[in-house]
Amino acid sequence: MTTLKLGISTCPNDTFIFYGLAHGLASVPGAGFDVRLADVEELNHWAATGEPHVCKVSAAAAAGLLDRYAVSRTGSALGRGVGPVLISKDELAPSDLDGRVVVVPGMATTARLLLDLYCKQAGVRPELRAVVFDEAAGCVEDGSAAAGVLIHEGRFTFQRRGLRLIQDLGQWWEARFDLPLPLGVILIRRDLGALGLQVERAIGASLRLARARPEEAWGYVRGLAQELDDRTIQQHIDTFVTDFSDDLGGEGAKALAELLSMAGFEGAAQDLLI
């Protein structure tokens, strides 16, 4: 039996998609999975070591990993209306961010890349500071940062905390490029060869199982979620588990190639996918 090291985040979209694989309900013949659950920035760094066989990473981080990894057509977080949000405690304009601290959920994340692109267009240079994603809103609340970029469940709950929206970075991306926004992708090591294709199919089977029997996956998803409100968890799944999670398709691959080119990937679009 071959043991494959699999890294996913604790966020509801990942735990929903991978429930079947993590519990042996969707499988790869002759292989099993050793599952590591971690923050996406930790996963970005782990994938950079080449150790995991299969790993969720920020789409932007994939740009530097595609010599060793290929992108799975299934399992991605990609769509419209899914982007990170730039928020503040006080009402601020983009120009107010120049030279001030803005917290981001990791320097290798798609959120950070989007903020860089947005700030470049706005002509401002904030001081970026990396924090774990679920700490960003608190940094803004306590005044240690002027603004923050929120991802995952935080993008649904910031208004309840009295925080203000400066810019929905996903809407900004869509308006500028007329493409869905790639947030996170599943990487599969190229040296797995045909086994990698079986892994890709198993991810698809795991997602189909969760869609067909969501009540079975719910305990696993809820037990790992940062926000315990059931409505927020379901909203997270509904937002980030999209048709592109089933299959990137032509439009999803085009959007990913566009984002990766901005993150420094210089290869051809056809080199992305497994």
List, for residues 45-75, the tens digit of each pLDDT value: 999 999 999 999 999 999 999 999 999 999 9
Measured N-to-C along each axis, helices 214-224 and 12-22 cross at an angle, to the nearest 10 degrees, of: 120
Range of the domain at 60: 2-79+181-271
Q: Domain count of the chain? A: 2
Asked if residue 188 and residue 60 are part of one domain, the reply reads yes
Statement: residue 249 has pLDDT above 90: yes
Among residues 153, 177, 201, the one where a domain terminates is: 177
- For the beta carbon of residue 193, count every other beta carbon within 10 angstroms: 10
Residues 152 and 11: beta-carbon distance below 8 Å = yes
Statement: residue 25 has pLDDT above 90: yes
- Asked about 152 being catalytic, the answer comes back as yes
pTM of the prediction?
0.92
Statement: residue 150 has pLDDT above 90: yes
Asked if residue 155 and residue 91 are part of one domain, the reply reads yes
Asked if residue 51 and residue 34 are part of one domain, the reply reads yes
Asked if residue 121 and residue 37 are part of one domain, the reply reads no
Question: Domain holding 92: CATH number?
Answer: 3.40.190.10
Q: Which of 183, 258, 265, 267 is nearest to 13 (CA)?
A: 183
Among residues 121, 150, 177, the one where a domain terminates is: 177
Asked if residue 195 and residue 71 are part of one domain, the reply reads yes
Asked if residue 264 and residue 154 are part of one domain, the reply reads no
Statement: residue 87 has pLDDT above 90: yes
What mean pLDDT is predicted for residues 146-160? 90
What mean pLDDT is predicted for residues 10-37? 96
With tokens 């890349």, the residue in question is 113
What mean pLDDT is predicted for residues 252-261? 94
Asked if residue 254 and residue 234 are part of one domain, the reply reads yes
Asked if residue 260 and residue 190 are part of one domain, the reply reads yes
Among residues 121, 147, 177, the one where a domain terminates is: 177
Asked if residue 238 and residue 160 are part of one domain, the reply reads no
With a CB cutoff of 8 Å and minimum separation 6, the contacts of 119 are 94, 97, 125, 126
Asked if residue 135 and residue 95 are part of one domain, the reply reads yes
Asked if residue 69 and residue 106 are part of one domain, the reply reads no
Per-residue pLDDT, 156: 86
What mean pLDDT is predicted for residues 154-178? 94
Asked if residue 186 and residue 68 are part of one domain, the reply reads yes
Burial of 238 (0-12, 13-18, 19+ CB in 10 A): exposed
Q: Which of 23, 45, 53, 152 is catalytic?
A: 152
Statement: residue 212 has pLDDT above 70: yes
